[in-house]
Structure formats: structure tokens, C-alpha cells
């Protein structure tokens, strides 16, 4: 299989793993595996409307990030089959089943608000903003489970600099994609869509805040937030908004979906804090996917050296 450098690819050329595997199974079943070079492109175009095909499914020559943990990574199977993505269902196994036909072709991310240079980024433009890094992050979910994932992307601050926020822009609001035709399970999710999130400007500019385009060396699977998402490793997982379509810089603290749904349970900051329990369960311990025994939850998910200074003097029980 030909593997090309990330800088040489257009986003439309990156074939999702599920489509690639299904194509191979189909060809083998028909006894025409040798025809893949001729028929493959057409088959993938039929499976994913508007997206052209590529012989490669992987990013190569990724920069190894110094922010990466050395902890054992969870398997691709773990991370792609145990998901919170309520637009595709509320059970952890639902997104993997219900997101496979999600069409992410012709994706655009609108950046607006208090900026000197508002613009709309195509995925090809996003790929060219900065070199892609592999960052192996711990990821802690509010339900007291955790994972370790090799994400692919670059610091969100690289995008911020391109649009030149005004001094009065103290917050960044984010909005995910929502289409009830493609996401019919969202009607019964119990929360409002589109999903919205937000960060303070210094949080957005922290080098750990990742604009994420892939994982495990490949483009993001649909159930994990394709084609572009945030990953904020010192905050609970619901802050890492998936399938991002709008970024707005503003002076006021933006609303966030889970804070709107249950303000007594979910605050704006949502930093990982073992000393602040969720009203319905303790946050002092966590269970890593694939493990039996629980481990101690780390303050700021273990990223305190990089982020604690942003909250100096704040009461982190009040500003949870």
C-alpha cells in the first residue's frame, strides 16, 4: 500500500478505516481482489458521497510530541467502540453502529466573532496550518473511566493566530455539527443540539489544547468526532467537542451543553479534580478501559505542571 506524507494529502483523499476494510471484504468475497487498483476508487466513492479515494489511509512522518505520556495506550477497538457521542445514541456502543454513514465530505469550519480576519476553513486548509503531531494523551471521562489515545493534530493556538482575535475576545465558543437526518438518535438524547462548548482564551491558547484530525496514525473515525475535534486532556471528556463546525471569539463566557442541561452537576471549567465529586458518584478513582482495578484520579488528569498556573487563586470547588 502506498503511504504518502500528510503534507502531500488532501483531506478528501484520506479514506476512513471502516470504508477501506469493507472494500477489501467485498472484493475478496467477489473473488476480484486483484481488481482493487481499478475498482477501488469507484467503490469508495459510492460508499462515501462526495469523497474521493486514496490508496493510503494513514498519516506518515508525524512529529512526536514532547507532551505525550509513556503510559500504555488503549487499543483501537477500545477507543472506537466505547464512546460518548449522543447525536448517534446514548449507549456507549451506539456511535460505532450508528455513525458509519455520517457524511463528512465538503466540511467547513467557520471562525467568526471578535477577530480581525474571520474566515471559513476547509479541511485541506486546516491540514496545512501546522505540522501534524502525534500526542499520546490521557483522557478522563466524567463517568470515572479513562483511556490513553495517540491523537493526531496540532495546538489549537496555531489556528487562533491566523484569525487575530481582538483584545476583548476573552472566550472561545465552539459548536458541533448537527443534522437530525443523519443523527436521528439525537432526538432522544435528553440534551439540546447542536452541542456547544467553550474555553477561556488562555485555555484555548495553552499548547496542550489540540485541534485533532486523527488517531492511531489515521483520520478520525466518525464515532470519535470526524473530521475535526478538540482534545483538552486536563478537562473531563465532554469538553473535547466533536465534529466541529463553528468557532466564535467573544467577550462573554459562552454557554455549554452539559452546564445548560444540569448546572448543579457540570460547570464551565470541568477540570479533572479528584476532590470535587459529581453529585451522583465520586471522582477520586477511575477505571482505565480494559483494566479491572481502579486507580487514583490525578489532579488536572496529571497535566498540572502545564496548566495549574492558569487557575492560580481560583477556588476550584466553586469554579468546577
* pLDDT for 50: 30
What HEC string does the chain produce? CCCCCHHHCCHHHCCCHHHHHHHHHHHHHHCCHHHHHHHHHHHHHHHCCCCCCCCCCECCCCEECCCCCCCCCCCHHHHHCCCCCHHHCCCCCHHHHHCCCCCCCCCEEEEEECECCCEEEEHHHHHCCCCCEEEEEEEEECCCEEEEEEEEEEECHHHHHHHCECCCCCEEEEEECCCCCCCHHHHHCCCCCCCEEEEEHHHHHCCCCEEEEEECCEECCHHHCCCCEEECCCECHHHCCCCEEEEEEECCCCCCHHHHHCCCCCCCCCECCCCCCECCECCCEEEECCCCCCEECCHHHHCHHHHHHHHCCCCCCCCC
Answer whether residue 4 is part of any domain.
Answer: no
21 phi and psi angles, rounded to 5 deg: -65, -40
Answer whether residue 41 is part of any domain.
Answer: no
Q: pTM, whole model, 2 decimals? A: 0.84
- Determine the structural domain holding residue 221 and report its residue range: 62-311
306 phi and psi angles, rounded to 5 deg: -90, -20
Residues 183, 243: contact at Cβ < 8 Å?
Answer: no
Answer whether residue 93 is part of any domain.
Answer: yes
Answer whether residue 252 is part of any domain.
Answer: yes
Whose cell is 480581525? That residue is 116
Q: Give how many domains the chain has, as a whole number.
A: 1
Number of C-beta neighbours around residue 285 at 10 A: 13
Answer whether residue 317 is part of any domain.
Answer: no
Residues 108, 125: contact at Cβ < 8 Å?
Answer: no
Q: Is 216 left (phi over 0), alpha (psi -120 to 50) or beta?
A: left
> Which pLDDT tens digits describe the chain residue by residue (320 residues)?
334 454 555 555 554 544 444 444 433 443 433 333 323 322 223 233 333 222 236 898 899 999 999 999 999 999 999 999 999 999 999 999 999 999 999 999 999 999 999 999 999 999 999 999 999 999 999 999 999 999 999 999 999 999 999 999 999 999 999 999 999 999 999 999 999 999 999 999 999 999 999 999 999 999 999 999 999 999 999 999 999 999 999 999 999 999 999 999 999 999 999 999 999 999 999 999 999 999 999 999 999 999 999 999 999 999 99
Answer whether residue 29 is part of any domain.
Answer: no
Cα(133)–Cα(233) distance, integer angstroms: 15
Answer whether residue 181 is part of any domain.
Answer: yes
Cα(299)–Cα(317) distance, integer angstroms: 12
Q: What CATH number does residue 166 fall under?
A: 3.90.420.10
Answer whether residue 169 is part of any domain.
Answer: yes
Amino acid at each position: 500500500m502506498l503511504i504518502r506524507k500528510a503534507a502531500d494529502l488532501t483531506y478528501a483523499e484520506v479514506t476512513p478505516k471502516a470504508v477501506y476494510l469493507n472494500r477489501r471484504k467485498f472484493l475478496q468475497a467477489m473473488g476480484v481482489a486483484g481488481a482493487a487498483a481499478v475498482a477501488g476508487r469507484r467503490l469508495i466513492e459510492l460508499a462515501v458521497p462526495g469523497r474521493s479515494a486514496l490508496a493510503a489511509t494513514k498519516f506518515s512522518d508525524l512529529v512526536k510530541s514532547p507532551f505525550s505520556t509513556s503510559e500504555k495506550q488503549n487499543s483501537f477497538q477500545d477507543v472506537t467502540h466505547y464512546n460518548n457521542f449522543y447525536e448517534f445514541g446514548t449507549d456507549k456502543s451506539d456511535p460505532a453502529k450508528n455513525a458509519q454513514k455520517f457524511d463528512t465530505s465538503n466540511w467547513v469550519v467557520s471562525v467568526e466573532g471578535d477577530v480581525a480576519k474571520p474566515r471559513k476553513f476547509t479541511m485541506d486548509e486546516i491540514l496545512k496550518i501546522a505540522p501534524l503531531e502525534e500526542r499520546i494523551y490521557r483522557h478522563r471521562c466524567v463517568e470515572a473511566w479513562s483511556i490513553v489515545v495517540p491523537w493526531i493534530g496540532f495546538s489549537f493556538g496555531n489556528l487562533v493566530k491566523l484569525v487575530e482575535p481582538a483584545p476583548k475576545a476573552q472566550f472561545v465558543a465552539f459548536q458541533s455539527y448537527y443534522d437530525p437526518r443523519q443523527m436521528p438518535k439525537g432526538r432522544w438524547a435528553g440534551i439540546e443540539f447542536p452541542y456547544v462548548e467553550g474555553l477561556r482564551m488562555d485555555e484555548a491558547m495553552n499548547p496542550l489544547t489540540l485541534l485533532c484530525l486523527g488517531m492511531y496514525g489515521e483520520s478520525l473515525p466518525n464515532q470519535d468526532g470526524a473530521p475535526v475535534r478538540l482534545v483538552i486532556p486536563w478537562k473531563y471528556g465532554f469538553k473535547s467537542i466533536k465534529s466541529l463546525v463553528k468557532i466564535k471569539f467573544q467577550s462573554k463566557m459562552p454557554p455549554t451543553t452539559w452546564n445548560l442541561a444540569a448546572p448543579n452537576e457540570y460547570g464551565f471549567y470541568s477540570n479533572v479534580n479528584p476532590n470535587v465529586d459529581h453529585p451522583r458518584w465520586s471522582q477520586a478513582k477511575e477505571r482505565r478501559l480494559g483494566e479491572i482495578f481502579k486507580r487514583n484520579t490525578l489532579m488536572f488528569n496529571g497535566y498540572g505542571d502545564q496548566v495549574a498556573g492558569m487557575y492560580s487563586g481560583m477556588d476550584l470547588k466553586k469554579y468546577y
